[in-house]
């Protein structure tokens, strides 16, 4: 089939909302765009285990510990689905991990903030996983088959994550005055960093135009951010908590909230590696990668032995 046909086939598949599969022809920049986004998404899941992981040993009850353990383990699994989806585009796991461990690859800015109290674990589940769901439900309709299917599986588990966070915030907000104050303090610190998760404003998003053209993204950063604010304000009201934004006001004409923009200078600084926890996160990730060397070696040796045995049979 001549080159012009493969491009037409690719465009026709996009136009019909058909999936692009690993074996299909695809423009090199489409492949690169996906490798960038999916590998960073995978890194985010793995790094996302750290802020909450340090509260597993300090959970206030056995039930809370079990629930948090399950959530953190889920995030590890999400990372594996996404690394596998990225590998189907021709990049190796080692290449992706090396980009992360050497600080070359990005991961979600949100995970560079500290979890200072148990209420932060609630705020992360409620807000961060809530924002992730908003984004990932949209990505279920991504044009790349393996990415879309990974999203379907991940979204099912994310809803449990958001529920467990909101349950913690509910427990605290209807608890003692000190507990409610702890919940409000967490909301104050996590609100704007969560809005940054959706990416820079559309006007400053270099990747969105292609992402929308190739139906990798189906909505823009600002559209998802707006939908997240609209949905979350009522949840905060139920808790009796105050969203820390004086610019937040209902706009009847647009049937949505007007709200203040996050501090984009802070955002740029965090993704440059200068956030509160960037260094600590990479040190921790590098340590666990090094500590896990023997597991990888043992698994590789076992796999090699199995392969030799099956070839010899
Ligand atoms: N943190 C770090 N980097 C970010 C970012 C963020 N919150 N938002 C944007 N960026 C980076 C982009 O990666 C891009 O840099 P690059 O070209 O070097 O990769 C640059 O800022 C410009 O942003 P764009 O909007 O042009 O880039 P995208 O079109 O890729 O949009 C995105 C950014 C919305 C994050 C998109 O990549 C996306 O939807 N990714 C998949 C979802 C994802 O990664 N979510 C992260 C959280 S996962 C999570 O929360 C797990 C949950 O279980 C807790």
The string of pLDDT tens digits covering residues 12-21 is 999 999 999 9
Per-residue pLDDT at 161 exceeds 60: yes
| Distance from the Cα of residue 224 to its chain's centroid | 14
Give the mean pLDDT of 305-313: 93
pLDDT per residue over 123-139, tens digit each? 999 999 999 999 999 99
Looking at residue 241, its pLDDT comes to 98
Give the mean pLDDT of 145-155: 96
Per-residue pLDDT at 159 exceeds 80: yes
Q: How far is the CA of 311 from the centre of ligand 1 (A)?
A: 44
Give the mean pLDDT of 258-263: 98
What is the rounded CA–CA span in Å between residue 48 and residue 59? Answer: 17
What is the rounded CA–CA span in Å between residue 142 and residue 151? Answer: 9
pLDDT per residue over 37-47, tens digit each? 999 999 999 99
- Whether the predicted model's global pTM rises above the 0.85 cut: yes
Q: How far is the CA of 83 from the centre of ligand 1 (A)?
A: 15
Say what angle helices 177-196 and 145-173 make with each other, to 10 degrees.
Answer: 160
The residue behind tokens 């501090």 is 263
Looking at residue 3, its pLDDT comes to 56
Give the mean pLDDT of 242-249: 98
Mutate to test the pocket of ligand 1, among 121, 128, 199, 204 (most ligand atoms within 8 A of CB): 199
pLDDT per residue over 195-209, tens digit each? 999 999 999 999 999
- Ligand 1 atom closest to 36 (CA): 19
Beta strands in 155-196 (DSSP E): none
Looking at residue 117, its pLDDT comes to 98
Pocket lining: 193 vs ligand 1, CB cutoff 6 Å: no
Neighbours of 55 (CB within 10 A): 19
DSSP state of 273: I
**Quick one: which of 284, 305, 287 has its CA closest to 112?**
284
Pocket lining: 208 vs ligand 1, CB cutoff 6 Å: yes
Pocket lining: 38 vs ligand 1, CB cutoff 6 Å: no
Q: In a 3-state reduction of DSSP, which class is residue 191? A: helix
Position with higher pLDDT, 2 vs 105: 105
Looking at residue 4, its pLDDT comes to 63
Looking at residue 130, its pLDDT comes to 97
Nearest CA to ligand 1 atom 18: 106
Per-residue pLDDT at 1 exceeds 70: no
What six digits make up the tokens of 11? Answer: 């465009």
Nearest CA to ligand 1 atom 31: 199
Average pLDDT, the chain: 96
Pocket lining: 268 vs ligand 1, CB cutoff 6 Å: no
Q: How far is the CA of 52 from the centre of ligand 1 (A)?
A: 20
Pocket lining: 128 vs ligand 1, CB cutoff 6 Å: yes
Nearest CA to ligand 1 atom 17: 207
Looking at residue 2, its pLDDT comes to 54
Pocket lining: 232 vs ligand 1, CB cutoff 6 Å: no
Give the mean pLDDT of 267-284: 97
- Ligand 1 atom closest to 138 (CA): 39
pLDDT per residue over 206-236, tens digit each? 999 999 999 999 999 999 999 999 999 999 9
């Amino acid at each position: 089939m001549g080159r012009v046909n493969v491009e037409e086939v690719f465009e026709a598949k996009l136009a019909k909302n058909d999936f692009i599969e690993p074996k299909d022809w695809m423009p090199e920049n489409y492949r690169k765009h996906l490798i960038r986004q999916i590998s960073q998404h995978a890194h985010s899941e793995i790094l996302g285990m750290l802020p909450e992981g340090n509260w597993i040993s300090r959970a206030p009850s056995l039930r809370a510990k079990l629930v948090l353990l399950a959530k953190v383990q889920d995030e590890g699994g999400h990372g594996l689905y996404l690394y596998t989806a990225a590998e189907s585009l021709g990049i190796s796991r080692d290449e992706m991990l090396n980009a992360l461990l050497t600080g070359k690859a990005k991961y979600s800015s949100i995970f560079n903030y500290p979890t200072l109290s148990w209420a932060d674990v609630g705020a992360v589940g409620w807000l961060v996983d809530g924002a992730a769901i908003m984004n990932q439900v949209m990505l279920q309709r991504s044009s790349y088959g393996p990415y879309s299917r990974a999203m379907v599986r991940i979204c099912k588990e994310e809803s449990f994550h958001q529920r467990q966070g909101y349950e913690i915030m509910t427990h605290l907000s209807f608890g003692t005055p000190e507990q409610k104050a702890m919940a409000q303090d967490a909301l104050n610190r996590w609100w704007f960093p969560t809005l940054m998760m959706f990416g820079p404003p559309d006007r400053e998003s270099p990747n969105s135009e292609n992402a929308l053209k190739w139906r990798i993204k189906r909505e823009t950063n600002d559209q998802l951010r707006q939908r997240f604010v609209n949905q979350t304000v009522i949840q905060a009201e139920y808790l009796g908590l105050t969203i820390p934004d004086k610019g937040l006001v209902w706009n009847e004409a647009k049937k949505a909230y007007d709200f203040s923009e996050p501090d984009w200078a802070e955002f740029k600084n965090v993704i440059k590696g200068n956030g509160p926890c960037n260094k600590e996160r990479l040190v921790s990730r590098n340590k666990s990668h090094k500590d896990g060397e023997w597991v990888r070696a043992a698994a590789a040796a076992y796999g090699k032995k199995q392969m030799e045995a099956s070839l010899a049979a």
